[in-house]
Amino acid sequence: MADSAVYLLHSKCGAWDVRIDRPHGSQPHHQEHVHVSRKRLGGEYSWNKNGSRHDKARFPSSEKMIGKARKIAAEALQVPESILQLVTATGGGVRVSVRSSSGDRRPRVSLMAYIRISDGLLFFGHKETLVAVWVQD
């Protein structure tokens, strides 16, 4: 019965709301995680216990408060601040799949990436890697 227990810890840290949730499932990628938000933030920062981002699409588009949110989240999860990933979600890009085929074999994906151009920068994202390239006219 203990496995089915639900827990939710909610607290305040100054103007910040902090919520710690238990894993939402039993798969290895389901982890204890924290949500950190405040008024007029335009989303919420959230991280899993292993430092990966949780609810990536809800990260605020502005990074001006990510340092404070990261510190609060690390304290709530009782993990080193350095393991919490900083890259926030960005919109307006496109997913690209490069497929290769040889002979009679079915095409297979050799690369899947996210590409976005913003303010003279070209972003390529793949798994745990982000590459930014300055584009000049």
Greatest mean pLDDT among 40-44, 55-59, 121-125? 40-44
The counts of H helices and E strands in the chain are 1, 8
Distance of alpha carbon 57 from alpha carbon 30, whole angstroms? 17
Identify the band that residue 133 occupies on the pLDDT scale cut at 50, 70 and 90: confident
Integer Rg of the chain from CA: 19
Domain boundaries, the chain: 2-83, 94-134
Query: Which residue shows structure tokens 């798969």?
Result: 27
Distance of alpha carbon 117 from alpha carbon 90, whole angstroms? 11
Predicted pLDDT at 10: 74
